[in-house]
Amino acid sequence: MKFSGKMVTLLVIVALIIGAAGSYGITTLFGFGSKEQALPLNDSNQRNSDYQKIESVYQFIGKNYFQKVSNAKLTNGAIQGMIESLNDPFSSYMDPNTAKQFTQSLSSSFQGIGAEVQLENNIITVVSPIKGSPAEKAGLRPHDQILEVNGASLEGLGLDEAVSKISGKEGTVAHLVVKRSGVSTPLEFNVTRKEIPLKTVSLKTYQQDGHTIGYIDIKSFSENTSKEFASALSKVDGKHIDGLVIDVRGNPGGFLDQVEKMASAIISSKKPLVQIQDRNGKIVEAFHSDLKKKEPYPIVGLIDNGSASAAEILSGALKEAGDYPLVGVKSFGKGTVQQAVDIKGDGGKSELKLTMYKWLTPDGYWIHKKGIQPTVSVKQPDYFFSSPMTIEKNKPLKFDMNNEQIANAQKMLQGIGYNPGRTDGYFDQATQNAVRAFQKANKLEVNGEIDVQTAAKIQDKVVAAVQDPQNDLQLQAAFHLIDQKLAK
């Protein structure tokens, strides 16, 4: 996120300077507008004592450690240690390589698996896979915990180190071992990295009960998202739509200035769109819409547990404006604002991403770790969230077996019209009959067993079913709300 509007500049410089005697000098500047002011520092005697302690350890390690260690490694470790002591999954220190990757991830494209992650309880945790990304197609979900990448454990790694292992060149494979809540054994995913084009906004129109409904899908809030959104809004308006659905499901967030511009384009309200609060509880900025009158058609938002950060800012603004209902399930719950700033000392190549503010909804609520509740709660069918099956050759799932893979297969079969009568993981006669019926309909060997070919075909059919808007219960509920508003 980065500020815009009245908050013109935000400068934080942390200088770690190692002189001939190994002393540290730290200067912190914080300014609004063009005025910069040194932050007041606490008791100088205590501060000097603390610095002497750091210097003492630094010098001792440098002289006595059994291997030579670079100044840069010790300095980076000291900074990383300070960040980790905050126990904040959203604050991080980025060395030059990681800072470059972070900047690219919010630009026009980047190479990787396409998932926003955070460090939660010292475990790399998925916030949300980007829509249409390899991570989403492979089956990763919000709150999945990534334990290993290509055989290497992520335990004990900082966020940036872990991200560097997960990302990589297009065409290479990230083999992930993932722990998922409610699943007793780890899941494994092979995710082929690719160039992730961050065209963040897409649009469609639907014909619904004689009405033309516009649909704008926002995948993330990148540096050009507000421009893409303005273009999409202009195009759907040109189609003389009767209603609009704005979808931020699976949207992990992004830049604050982008969501502020987008909300200003559609929300007419006397309330602020979002409020920024500092550590002392003071509102340092409140963004308002310049829109004088609302759009002449109803607008409905879609959210889910992968809607985070900037996506929640937009959702909160829609909901609390009073006229724009939300459909779906409770959002992720990220109510803090990070600022990425250069660190003096290496030419601005390293960055500190630090949580500096809270953001509040128009009515002043802090949604952190709570999320935003939808106006209308609608869950998707179970098969939308089924885990991928990993079937080994010559080891099919078959009659009288009982495990979680079978439970997932049963949910998938049920979702695509071959009801096995149960989803508890026991492969009974009814499940065998459902598998036989599926195999016959799809010209597979009819043996009643879920082998590699049958599993692949089931998953292909599930993907197609999930992509069919008729099966999207949340989207259909949004259409229904618009129909109700138009009928009044």
The domain that holds 443 is classified in CATH as: 1.10.101.10
Residues 463 and 386 in one domain: yes
Angle 333-339-342 from CA coordinates, rounded to 5°:
150
Residue pair 19/59 in contact by the 8 Å Cβ criterion: no
Residue pair 166/138 in contact by the 8 Å Cβ criterion: no
Q: What is the CATH number of the domain that holds 160?
A: 2.30.42.10
Strands 173-179 and 145-149: antiparallel
Q: How many CB atoms lie within 10 A of CB 444?
A: 17
b (16+ CB within 10 A) / e for 297-323:
bbbbbbbbbbbbbbbbbbbbbbbbbee
Question: Measured between alpha carbons, how far is 105 from 124 in angstroms, rounded to an integer?
Answer: 17
Q: How many residues does the chain have?
A: 488
Q: How many CB atoms lie within 10 A of CB 284?
A: 15
Question: Measured between alpha carbons, how far is 271 from 192 in angstroms, rounded to an integer?
Answer: 45
Per-residue H/E/C for 387-406: CCCCCECCECECCCCECHHH
pLDDT given at position 136? 86
Question: Measured between alpha carbons, how far is 232 from 262 in angstroms, rounded to an integer?
Answer: 11
Closest CA to 353 of 363, 343, 345: 343
Question: What residue has token string 């129109």?
Answer: 205
Stated as kind and residue range, the H or E segment containing 475 is helix 473-487
- What end-to-end distance do the CA atoms of the chain give, in Å? 40
pLDDT given at position 196? 73
Instruction: Write out the E strands in 33-186.
Output: 35-38, 92-94, 109-112, 115-120, 123-129, 145-149, 152-153, 173-179
Question: Of 105, 338, 410, 432, which one is the catalytic site residue?
Answer: 338
Question: What residue has token string 């008729």?
Answer: 470
Question: Measured between alpha carbons, how far is 475 from 2 in angstroms, rounded to an integer?
Answer: 31
Q: Is residue 483 part of a domain?
A: no
Structure tokens belonging to residue 201: 């906004």
pLDDT given at position 28? 25
pLDDT given at position 450? 97
Question: Measured between alpha carbons, how far is 188 from 178 in angstroms, rounded to an integer?
Answer: 6
Closest CA to 476 of 374, 332, 380: 380
Q: Is residue 1 part of a domain?
A: no
Q: Is residue 230 part of a domain?
A: yes
Residues 394 and 370 in one domain: no
CA 439 remoteness from chain centre: 37
CA 235 remoteness from chain centre: 27
pLDDT given at position 37? 33
The answer to whether 35 is a known catalytic residue is no
Number of domains within the chain: 3
Q: Which domain holds residue 448?
A: 382-469
Residue pair 25/17 in contact by the 8 Å Cβ criterion: yes
Question: Measured between alpha carbons, how far is 358 from 286 in angstroms, rounded to an integer?
Answer: 12
Residues 185 and 237 in one domain: no
Spatial CB neighbours of 388, under 8 Å, sequence gap ≥ 6? 138, 139, 187, 189, 408, 459
Question: What residue has token string 């100088």?
Answer: 44
Type of residue at 230:
A
Phi, psi of 120 (to 5 degrees): -125, 115
Question: What residue has token string 């511009």?
Answer: 261
Let me know how many helices (H) and strands (E) the chain has, helices first: 12, 21
Q: Is residue 487 part of a domain?
A: no
Question: Measured between alpha carbons, how far is 413 from 425 in angstroms, rounded to an integer?
Answer: 12
Question: What residue has token string 């690219």?
Answer: 104
Question: Measured between alpha carbons, how far is 191 from 359 in angstroms, rounded to an integer?
Answer: 34
Question: Measured between alpha carbons, how far is 164 from 146 in angstroms, rounded to an integer?
Answer: 13
Residues 255 and 214 in one domain: yes
* pTM, two decimal places: 0.76
Q: Kindly tell me the sign of the dihedral angle through the C-alpha atoms of 236, 245, 367, 156.
A: negative
pLDDT averaged over 10-residue windows placed end to end, the chain, 488 residues? 30 22 24 30 70 90 92 87 89 74 53 80 82 85 90 84 84 91 83 82 93 94 92 93 96 91 91 96 94 90 95 97 95 92 70 91 97 98 85 92 94 96 96 98 97 92 92 98 92
The answer to whether 261 is a known catalytic residue is no
Q: Is residue 48 part of a domain?
A: no
Strands 336-342 and 92-94: unpaired
Q: Is residue 9 part of a domain?
A: no
Residues 248 and 327 in one domain: yes
- Mapped onto helix, strand or coil, the DSSP state of residue 221 is strand
Closest CA to 126 of 152, 170, 89: 89
Residues 214 and 360 in one domain: yes
Q: What is the CATH number of the domain that holds 284?
A: 3.90.226.10
Residues 180 and 213 in one domain: no
Residues 251 and 362 in one domain: yes
Residue pair 414/435 in contact by the 8 Å Cβ criterion: no
Please say which residue of 197, 226, 243 terminates a domain.
197
Residues 209 and 331 in one domain: yes
Question: Measured between alpha carbons, how far is 28 from 40 in angstroms, rounded to an integer?
Answer: 9
pLDDT given at position 386? 83
- Mapped onto helix, strand or coil, the DSSP state of residue 295 is coil
Q: Is residue 158 part of a domain?
A: yes
Question: Measured between alpha carbons, how far is 329 from 346 in angstroms, rounded to an integer?
Answer: 45
Please say which residue of 197, 222, 254 terminates a domain.
197
The answer to whether 334 is a known catalytic residue is yes
Angle 272-230-294 from CA coordinates, rounded to 5°:
45
Residues 237 and 278 in one domain: yes
Question: Of 131, 271, 319, 334, which one is the catalytic site residue?
Answer: 334
Residues 205 and 284 in one domain: yes
Q: Is residue 11 part of a domain?
A: no
Closest CA to 136 of 463, 391, 389: 463
Residues 308 and 248 in one domain: yes
